[in-house]
């Protein structure tokens, strides 16, 4: 995929299959592999923007995660095909707020929000997005604005007190 392949709604979709090694002792997908599947979605999103392995090796720039929040709403089982949808909710000169949803057909299984930062792989520190990448992030951000943001975006983990 290339930047010209950015969908009109700004949401990049990819798929993954639940593999035997992804199962835990409860015979469903282990929590670590939800994150691994979402990471495939981030890689697909970055590839559309042009942040692929060739770019990273050539320019010595990438992105790295700073924070994430995942929800587990339904279990996934062996052999199921998962669809991971990734979109950009916000960004600035260095950071990007991504939102992802994982589906089995039309059933929402899990969500992940993450905050990432532009990263210089030589200096091993954050850096501003290069102008061409900043413009691509802006276009991806503008495209996805037509899709409503779910009400649970931006919430943190908590336990409500019983009254």
Per-residue model confidence as pLDDT tens digits over 38-65: 999 999 999 999 999 999 999 999 999 9
Q: Show the low-confidence residues of the chain (pLDDT under 70).
A: 1-2
Residue 90 CB contacts under 8 Å (≥ 6 apart), including other chains: 96, 97, 141
Predicted confidence at residue 57, as pLDDT, reads 97
Give the per-residue pLDDT at 1: 54
The pTM is what?
0.92
Give the per-residue pLDDT at 161.
Answer: 81
The predicted pLDDT at position 163 comes to 72
**Residue 160: predicted pLDDT:** 79
HEC assignment per residue over the chain: CCHHHCCCCCCEEEEEECCHHHECCCCCECHHHHHHHHHHHHHHHHHHHCCCHHHHHHHCEEEEEEEEEEEECCCCCCCCEEEEEEEEEEECCCEEEEEEEEEECCEEEEEEEEEEEEEECCCCEECCCCHHHHHHHHHHHHHHCCCCCCCCCCCCCCCCCCC
* Confidence at residue 158, expressed as pLDDT on a 0 to 100 scale: 81
């Amino acid at each position: 995929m290339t930047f010209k392949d950015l969908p009109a709604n700004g949401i990049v979709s990819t798929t993954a299959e639940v593999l035997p090694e992804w199962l835990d002792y409860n015979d469903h997908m282990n929590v670590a592999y939800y994150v691994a599947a979402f990471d495939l979605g981030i890689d697909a999103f970055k590839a559309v923007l042009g942040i692929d392995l060739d770019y990273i090796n050539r320019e010595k720039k990438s992105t790295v995660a700073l924070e994430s929040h995942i929800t587990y709403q339904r279990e996934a089982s062996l052999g199921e095909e998962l669809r991971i949808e990734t979109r950009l909710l916000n960004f600035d000169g260095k950071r990007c707020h991504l939102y992802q949803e994982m589906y089995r057909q039309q059933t929402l299984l899990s969500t992940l929000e993450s905050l990432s930062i532009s990263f210089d792989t030589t200096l091993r520190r954050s850096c501003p997005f290069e102008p061409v990448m900043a413009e691509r992030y802006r276009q991806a951000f503008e495209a996805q604005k037509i899709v409503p943001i779910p009400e649970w975006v931006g919430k943190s983990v908590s336990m409500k007190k019983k009254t």
